[in-house]
Structure 1
Amino acid sequence: MKTNHIKGGMLLIVTTALTISAFAQQNDTMKRAFNMGRYNNSDVIDNSVPGKAREHISTNWKGRYYEILLVNDKITGLYVEGEKIPSEKWGAYSKTIAAIREQVRKDRIQARKDQEQARRDQRQAMLDEQQAKKDQEQAARDQEQAKRDQEQARRDELQAKEEQEDAQRDQAQARLDQEQAGRDQEQARLDQAQARKDQEEARKDQALMKQLIADLLSDTIVPNEKSLHEMTLNSEEMTVNGTKQPDNVFQKYKEKYKRFAGGEFSFENSGNRHGIHMSRQSISSNMSQDVRSF
Structure 2
Amino acid sequence: MRTRYFKSNILLAIFLVLAISLHAQKVTSQYSSTQKNGKERIITDRDDKTYQLEFTDGKMTFLSVDGVSVPEEKWGDYKTIIDEIREQMKKDKEQARLDRLQAEKDREQARLDRLQADKDRLQANQDRLQAQKEREQAGRDRLRVEKDRAQAELDRQQAMRDKQQADRDQQQADKDREQAIKDRAQADKDREQADKDRAQAEKDRAQAVLDRAQAEKDRAQAEADRKLMADLTADLVSDKLITDANDLHMLTLSPTEMTVNGVKQPDAVHKKYQDKYSRFAKNNLAYLADGNNKHIQMRRNN
* Pairwise TM-score range, normalised by the shorter structure: 0.3 to 0.5
What is the TM-score normalised by the length of structure 2? 0.47
Specify which structure has the bigger relative contact order, considering alpha-carbon pairs within 8 angstroms and separated by 6 or more residues.
1
Q: Rg larger in 1 or in 2? A: 2
Task: Give TM-score scaled by structure 1 length.
Answer: 0.48
